[in-house]
Amino acid sequence: MKSILMISLHGYVGANAELGKPDTGGQVVYVLELAERFSRLGKRVDLVTRQFEDQPEYDHVDENYSVWRIPFGGKKFIRKEDMHDHLKKFVTNTLAAIKKERKKYDVVYSHYWDAGWAGQKIAEELGISHVHTPHSLGWWKQHSMGSDMEEKEMEKTYRFKERIRKEYFVYQMCNYVIATTLPQVDLLTKQYDVLPKNCGMIPPGIDENRFFPVPSKENDRIRAKYDIQPTDILALGRMAHNKGYDLLFHALPTVFELCPEARLVAAIGGDQSDQDNQGIEKLKKLAEELGIADKISWKNYIADEDLANVYRSANIFVMPSRYEPFGMVAIEAMACGTPSIITVHGGLCDLIDFGKQGLFADPHRPKEFGAMMAMPLLYPKLRNELSVEGARFARRNFGWTGIAKRMLEVFRSSINQRTMESNVY
């Protein structure tokens, strides 16, 4: 197994990804890190994505690995929910480009339902194995959001019926599904009828060379640079409804009652789009209504090179998502020695040892979530325990090279199984 065709279609995928832009976050980091580690391990990798705006056809990362952009759907950005309308053209264009360039691959490895549907078609045409990572599941997302939006509005915005139908096809037809959490594995078998032998869990990873703790004196200098205080709470991520920032704001009065010196550093959004700006304005209005506006410091954009230091600077990191397939940002924060308080609506809480490696609570219960955020602020001994054990947990279990090696074993097994089946027929 020498050559891998990776596919990740939506968002701004590139050798130097513009993180924070629409549909460009944790999944893009995941895909780029794996592609780089596959290359380090001696595999040839083409990461295929969509070419739009004024992007070049290729980003040549190294002698083994390139980002290859295939044009389809015009020049404008297409949100992932609307990829349905353009996938057939992508398949046609990609197969034609592969034939023209005389490229050969041993396995297709696709990401999210859009690339999964296209990847299955491409793998069938090329006669090779297809492995897929969903990142999130339409059934889960639909049922997690059901109480927050009207059904018609939700279907118009997210097109769940089409998505779930395509997901079912991908999960049934591909050779193996790699979920990122154990709850996803459970949903794959119960809601999508995937055979247990055809799916498993490999968690996302972190860049071990970027995310690590530093001595407290060094951290004091870092805080001064970023205007972050020792009692600050950090929330960081894309501006999206499912991230639950409004739920976090409702929990903050409890924190401030218990810890008057605390403050929230809200590093939310990043691309300055109208959607981001509208979401942030709603949060600022909510903060005014709750009487906590003066306790929030806004940092709308964190450059990638500053990310680890911003994690390190805060007293705690908080992830209040309504649902979160995994939560890579929390693992990154933990690896930097910053204790994390995470949502119970996701897979990460099933992996950590509560009270030792991290804390979790239900963000839909504001007093519960607020009290949990206050614990490390009130009890330095608890915070120190969470800091040390959380960093150990993150680095030991989520280094990208180890994750990539596990992926390659799945690819080899999938290729061998397909070869055996072909020989039978």
Contact predicate 109/122, CB 8 Å: no
CA distance 36 to 65: 7
Q: Is residue 189 part of a domain?
A: yes
Q: Are residues 131 and 252 in the same domain?
A: no
Q: Is residue 250 part of a domain?
A: yes
CA distance 290 to 298: 16
Q: Are residues 192 and 328 in the same domain?
A: no
**DSSP state at residue 150:** -
Q: Are residues 167 and 274 in the same domain?
A: no
| pTM for the full predicted model | 0.68
Tokens matching residue 129: 């194995």
CA distance 150 to 177: 31
Tokens matching residue 204: 């996302």
CA distance 98 to 173: 22
Q: Are residues 196 and 110 in the same domain?
A: yes
**What are the residues whose beta carbons fall under 8 Å from the beta carbon of 96, sequence distance 6 or more?**
none
Q: Is residue 302 part of a domain?
A: yes
Q: Are residues 142 and 220 in the same domain?
A: no
Contact predicate 228/314, CB 8 Å: yes
Contact predicate 328/308, CB 8 Å: no
In this prediction, residue 208 has a pLDDT band, given cuts at 50, 70 and 90, of confident
Q: Are residues 147 and 63 in the same domain?
A: yes
Q: Is residue 211 part of a domain?
A: no
Q: Is residue 81 part of a domain?
A: yes
Tokens matching residue 214: 């530093």
Q: How many domains does the chain fold into? A: 2
User: In Å, what is the CA distance from 103 to each residue of 45, 95, 96, 122, 259?
Assistant: 11, 10, 11, 13, 60
Q: Are residues 196 and 305 in the same domain?
A: no
Is residue 194 scored above 70 in pLDDT?
yes
Q: Is residue 354 part of a domain?
A: yes
Q: What are the backbone angles phi and psi of residue 233, rounded to the nearest 5°?
A: -105, 130
Q: What is the CATH number of the domain that holds 351?
A: 3.40.50.2000
Q: Are residues 66 and 46 in the same domain?
A: yes
Please name the residue that has the structure tokens 């403050």: 263
Bin 387: left if φ > 0, else alpha if -120 < ψ < 50, else beta.
alpha
Is residue 148 scored above 60 in pLDDT?
no
Q: Are residues 347 and 199 in the same domain?
A: no
Is residue 149 scored above 70 in pLDDT?
no
Pairing of strands 44-51, 65-71: parallel
Q: Are residues 349 and 418 in the same domain?
A: no
Q: Is residue 210 part of a domain?
A: no
Q: Are residues 336 and 307 in the same domain?
A: yes
pLDDT of the residue at 146: 58
Mean pLDDT check: name the lowest of 54-58, 80-84, 321-325: 321-325
Q: Is residue 128 part of a domain?
A: yes
Q: Are residues 382 and 409 in the same domain?
A: no
User: In DSSP terms, which residues pair with 7 in a beta bridge?
Assistant: 48, 110
Is residue 205 scored above 90 in pLDDT?
no
Please name the residue that has the structure tokens 């040839």: 44
Contact predicate 200/410, CB 8 Å: yes
Please name the residue that has the structure tokens 């078998």: 189
Range of 27's domain?
A: 3-205+400-424
> Which has more pLDDT, 46 or 327?
46
| Each residue's pLDDT tens digit, 220-248 | 999 999 999 999 999 998 888 889 999 99
